[in-house]
Amino acid sequence: MTSTRVAIVGGGPVGLAAALFASRAGMTPIIIEAKDTDGDKACGEGLMPGVMPLLETLGLDPPGRDLLGVSYRQGTTHVDHLFPGTPGRGVRRTALVEQMRAQADQRGVERIQARVTGLTQDSSGVRLHCAASEDVQADYVLGCDGLHSTIARQLGLVSRPSRRARRYGLRQHFQRAPWNSMIEVYYAGDAELYITPVDDETVGVAVLGPKGINLAETIARVPQVSAELHGALPASTLRGAGPFPYRARRAQVGRVLLVGDAAGYVDAITGEGLRVGFAQAHEAITALHAGNPASYPKRWRKVTREFRVLTRGLVVVASSPLRHAIVPVSSRTPRLFGAIINRLAR
């Protein structure tokens, strides 16, 4: 019997995780990645505690800094929550991708560089059309090609969000020993500033907010962060991402499944993309392994529900006049705040 061939479009963290799950399940994954780069992109790089067991299952232990919790800050008020149990980890995305690629190579997973531009499918398989490269034929396809996915667009699944709601993200690293073992989140005007320690000499700084956000200006608005970063040299190029939210109307059509950001992304406000993306990759491979791709949308809804509901709720509040009350109210209701963080982080 020939092994099931699964073509994975996008070799970001979620595509790589899907390939590793598929390989472990005895399938033959092939990764098609458009870019010949180190995999860097705008990301807060905080792996929540819930990611760690999944990484362990895949034999991964990326280098980084333990993250003990989250500290929300506004002016002189702050509310801290320590993760119960095992810590999360701040990991340079390039280090995570490098380790995942090495693991994929070790398992004999084929990786090719090509940009997928279209697809056709029938009851026996899927054909992927690639720019300046041969077509790829597979039993199933996983669209792991991120925000504003080509695969979702090809399937006619992308719905346009309202212009008013659009948010964007920026990220850059600075050479500076971390000053906190928690992720710090500052509410700075209409933007949020995230500080994540990623190794002993580097902190990642991410900003989320409306169109036109500026990293240097947002840092300048937060005196504590300006002081900590004073004189620190940039350790990476500035990168941007967005707009979000991005929505795909469903997560599966025939033999094609959408996984990770490609299946829909609410916002980075909760730093949950990778945890939820890896969980989707696991569910997608479980569905294919059972020969039942149609079971994936239900599985997808289950593993993404809390992320979607809580993240949407937080974005609504953060985009309303109540924004200024988030940190003060959370500091007066630490148990509720802690319960929300725990649900998102597990």
Q: Does 225 bind ligand FAD (CB under 6 A)?
A: no
- Please state, in angstroms and as integers, the Cα–Cα distance from residue 101 to each residue in 38, 50, 154, 156, 314, following that order: 10, 21, 27, 31, 34
Nearest to 139 by CA among 248, 250, 36, 26: 26
**342 vs 346: CA distance, rounded Å:** 6
The single residue among 43, 158, 188, 266 that binds ligand FAD, judged by CB under 6 A, is: 43
Q: Does 12 bind ligand FAD (CB under 6 A)?
A: yes
Place of tokens 């939820």: 276
- CB of 265 vs ligand FAD, minimal distance in Å: 6
- CB of 54 vs ligand FAD, minimal distance in Å: 12
Q: Does 277 bind ligand FAD (CB under 6 A)?
A: yes
Q: Does 88 bind ligand FAD (CB under 6 A)?
A: no
**114 vs 149: CA distance, rounded Å:** 15
The single residue among 89, 92, 167, 171 that binds ligand FAD, judged by CB under 6 A, is: 171
Q: Residue 131 burial by CB count (10 A; 0-12/13-18/19+): exposed, middle or buried?
A: exposed
For residue 90 the two structure tokens come to 């701040």
Q: Residue 153 burial by CB count (10 A; 0-12/13-18/19+): exposed, middle or buried?
A: middle
First to last CA, the chain: 39
**57 vs 245: CA distance, rounded Å:** 30
Q: Which of residues 204-223 bind ligand FAD (CB under 6 A)?
A: 206, 208
The single residue among 273, 293, 297, 338 that binds ligand FAD, judged by CB under 6 A, is: 273
- CB of 10 vs ligand FAD, minimal distance in Å: 3
Comparison of 79 and 141: residue with beta carbon closer to ligand FAD: 141
- Please state, in angstroms and as integers, the Cα–Cα distance from residue 80 to each residue in 15, 73, 184, 208, following that order: 33, 9, 9, 20
For residue 44 the two structure tokens come to 């807060």
Q: Which of residues 116-145 bind ligand FAD (CB under 6 A)?
A: 116, 144-145
Q: Does 35 bind ligand FAD (CB under 6 A)?
A: yes
Strands across the sheet containing 264-265: 158-159, 246-248, 264-265
| Binding flags for ligand FAD, 142-161, as an x/- string (CB under 6 A) | --xxx---x-----------
Comparison of 15 and 197: residue with beta carbon closer to ligand FAD: 15
**Which letter does DSSP use for residue 234 in this model?**
B
Comparison of 120 and 333: residue with beta carbon closer to ligand FAD: 120
Comparison of 210 and 329: residue with beta carbon closer to ligand FAD: 210
Comparison of 242 and 297: residue with beta carbon closer to ligand FAD: 242
Q: Give residue number: closest CB to ligand FAD.
A: 273
Q: Does 29 bind ligand FAD (CB under 6 A)?
A: no
Segment holding 202, helix H or strand E: strand 202-209
**230 vs 219: CA distance, rounded Å:** 10
- CB of 13 vs ligand FAD, minimal distance in Å: 5
The single residue among 80, 139, 192, 272 that binds ligand FAD, judged by CB under 6 A, is: 272
The single residue among 8, 19, 30, 34 that binds ligand FAD, judged by CB under 6 A, is: 34
Q: Does 20 bind ligand FAD (CB under 6 A)?
A: no
- Please state, in angstroms and as integers, the Cα–Cα distance from residue 277 to each residue in 50, 109, 157, 329, following that order: 12, 20, 19, 30
- CB of 21 vs ligand FAD, minimal distance in Å: 13
- CB of 319 vs ligand FAD, minimal distance in Å: 16
The single residue among 261, 282, 296, 297 that binds ligand FAD, judged by CB under 6 A, is: 261
Binding site for ligand FAD (CB under 6 A): 9-15, 32-35, 41-46, 115-116, 144-146, 150, 169, 171, 206, 208, 241, 260-262, 268, 271-275, 277
